[in-house]
Amino acid sequence: MIRLENVTKTYDDNKTHALDHVNINIKKGEFVFIVGDSGAGKSTLFKLLIKELQPTSGDIYVNGKCITRLRRRKIPMLRRDIGVVFQDFRLLKDRNVYENIAFAQRAISAPPSQIKKNVAEVLTLAGISEKYRSFPDQLSGGEQQRVALARALVNKPKILLADEPTGNLDPGNSQIIMDILEEVNRRGTTVVVVTHNHEIVRQMNKRVINLKNGIVVNDIREGGLASER
Amino acid sequence: MKGNSFFYCLGQGFVGIKRNKVFFLASVATIAACVFMVGLLMAVILNVNYVIKEAQDSVCITVFFEPETSEADIQDLGKRITDWEEVSHVEYTSPEDAWEKFKQEYFKNEPELADGFANDNPLATSASYTVYLTDITYQQKVAERLEAMTGIRQVNKSEVTASALSDFGKIAGIASLAIIIVLLAVSIFLISNTITTGITVRAEEIRVMKYVGATDFFVKSPFVFEGIIIGLIGAILPLIVLFFVYRSAINYVVEQLHTFSSAFSLLPMKDVFYLLVPVALILGAGIGFIGSMIATNKYIKV
Ligand SMILES: Nc1ncnc2c1ncn2[C@@H]1O[C@H](COP(=O)(O)OP(=O)(O)OP(=O)(O)O)[C@@H](O)[C@H]1O
Ligand SMILES: [Mg+2]
């Protein structure tokens, strides 16, 4: 589903490699954590996957297709296959929960008849159906992140990328988010989560890729942590 | 773009305008000024051309003959003049015609006064040719040639102001063209600024749209619509103003100037606005389109 071959990324104004000859292969339906210190290159990796950035060298495959030399015109289609959530939610403050989620459907010109149904579906999945008329600033951090998740999922992406989705949340809310991610994965979506929360990583017992200074220092298979103990 | 997306983007274009009133008004004002200038210039050019053409059609030379010139000689003269390259056609006015015309004009209300002359035409020697020219610029030349011919007593020319008029028109035209170009540039600049502000205000929305896979076209089109809407509003306002200005100009000419020259009138409203409306709308929409394309291409990248 996601494959990186010898991917190196160097920022123009930066001599060091944000990513240094990285090889990663994530299969369809996997749930993967990416961990590493600040500056390890985790967000850079995500930006390469949605083609917000271009790798300095190496090749990236998403959903079986090489995206390294993807034409600009084709980028939207790539992004429809990938849902993204961030630590800071990035909801639109001037519209309510329903409109925030429907916005993602309108942006890809989904037929109006389907928008209602799809939005209702993800609202239920994220457990925020009762709050559909609330505005973002009327919601708790955990609820806002659930809305962001619902928005990332409403276009039915094959891959979900979450960059520190629980970074701003307390353990209770973090757990709720993780439960939703697990359910999303169970329904067939490939899920990749960047996190600093070691407690969650240990608890979830999934594959963990560890980055350090742009290098993959270890890649522990599902159940690996449990067996290590 | 599907129908519902079209209306969504169009709606978003209006939302953008509402959020951004000051720049919107500034853009509309400059576009309006620009379109107004264009409209005024067009109205003037159309009318000047009209007046020149009218003048051209009415410019003629009247030729009177020596009293002893015979009917046959007059006919022969007419044939010769008609053959000249500069002459479009020649009309003969017999003394009887001249007298009839004179009666019409001066004894209109007391026809019985004219009856006294019934058998003694006071204009018996007033047979004349009216010589129409193919171009007014030949007038002087033809008049001189006619004066040199034998049998001709008098040559009357029309006063020609048309060439002076067209010179003035040229200078005014160039000056207004310069103003229009400046206004055009300012309009495009202001509209692209308006749109840029709109893009900045909606940066967050644009970012989300890109993350969920909206096409470039989808992200940009609300802004292009916004530009075109602003342009069209900027074009419609001066059209309305021009309509009233032109109407009062026509009325003024009719009321004030007809005493001096009954021939002079402005082009009818229809003839001017038939051309002016599409030109203004295309110009306004074009300014809006170009301005917003500049802004979106500069600030919206996937
Ligand atoms: N736009 C940029 N321009 C220049 N250098 C950058 C840019 N973005 C990131 N970097 C550098 O690239 C390296 C990797 O950054 P990245 O954001 O991928 O780290 P991260 O693992 O996501 O860190 P964090 O856990 O703090 O979010 C860092 O050294 C960072 O300073
Ligand atoms: Mg990061």
Cβ of A103 within 8 Å of Cβ of B213? The answer is no
The contacts of residue A99 (CB under 8 Å, 6+ apart) are A92
The total domain count for chain A is: 2
* Same-domain pairing of B74 and B170: no
Give the pLDDT confidence score for residue B5 in this predicted structure: 75
**A39 CB less than 6 Å from ligand 1?**
yes
Q: Does A115 touch chain B (CB under 8 A)?
A: no
Q: Is the pLDDT of residue A191 over 70?
A: yes
Residue A38 Cα to ligand 1 middle (Å): 8
pLDDT of residue A5: 95
pLDDT over 90 at A192, yes or no: yes
Distance from the Cα of B221 to chain A's closest Cα (Å) equals 12
**A·B CB contacts under 8 A:** 60
Residues B48 and B88 in one domain: no
Q: Which residues pair with B62 in a beta bridge?
A: B130, B156
CB contact under 8 A, A103 and B208: yes
CB A147 within 8 A of CB A91: yes
Q: What is the pTM of this model?
A: 0.74
Question: Residues near A167 by Cβ (< 8 Å), separated by ≥ 6?
Answer: A87, A195, A196
Domain boundary among A106, A125, A152: A152
Q: CB distance A107–B4 less than 8 Å?
A: no
On whether both A172 and A203 belong to a single domain, the answer is: yes
pLDDT digits (tens, 9 = 90+) for A132-167: 999 999 999 999 999 999 999 999 999 999 999 999
Q: What is the rounded average pLDDT of the residues A43-64?
A: 94
Q: Coil, strand or helix: which one is B69?
A: coil
Q: Which of A117, A133, A152 is the last residue of a domain?
A: A152
Q: Is the CB of A12 under 6 A from ligand 1?
A: no
Q: Identify the band that residue A228 occupies on the pLDDT scale cut at 50, 70 and 90.
A: very low
- Does position A36 have pLDDT exceeding 90, yes or no? yes
ipTM of the assembly? 0.90
Q: Any chain A CB within 8 A of the CB of B216?
A: yes
Beta-carbon separation of B211 and A84 below 8 A: yes
Instruction: Give me the domain span that covers residue B140.
Output: 60-157
Q: What is the pLDDT of residue B165?
A: 55
Q: Are residues B108 and B226 in the same domain?
A: no
Contact B220, B289 (CB under 8 A): no
Q: What is the pLDDT along chain B (302 residues), one digit of tens a residue?
A: 567 777 877 777 777 777 677 888 888 998 999 899 888 888 888 887 787 777 667 777 888 888 777 778 888 888 888 888 888 888 888 777 777 777 777 766 666 666 666 666 666 677 788 888 777 777 778 888 888 887 888 888 766 554 555 666 678 778 888 888 998 898 899 899 889 988 988 899 999 999 999 999 999 999 999 999 999 999 999 999 999 999 998 888 877 766 555 556 788 888 889 999 999 999 999 999 999 999 999 988 76
**Which stretch of DSSP H or E encloses residue A148?**
helix A141-153
Average pLDDT, chain A: 92
Residue A127, phi-psi category: left (phi > 0), alpha (psi -120 to 50), beta (remainder) = left
Same domain, residue pair B183 and B267: yes
Tens-place pLDDT, residues A97-106: 999 999 999 9
Query: What confidence score (pLDDT) does residue B261 get?
Result: 54
Q: Which range of residues forms the domain containing residue A69?
A: 1-81+157-218
**Which residues make Cβ contacts (< 8 Å) with residue B89, sequence separation at least 6?**
B82, B132
**By C-alpha distance, which of B166, B160, B169, B163 is closest to B59?**
B160
* Atom nearest to A196 CA in ligand 1: 25
The answer to whether residues B174 and B275 belong to one domain is: yes
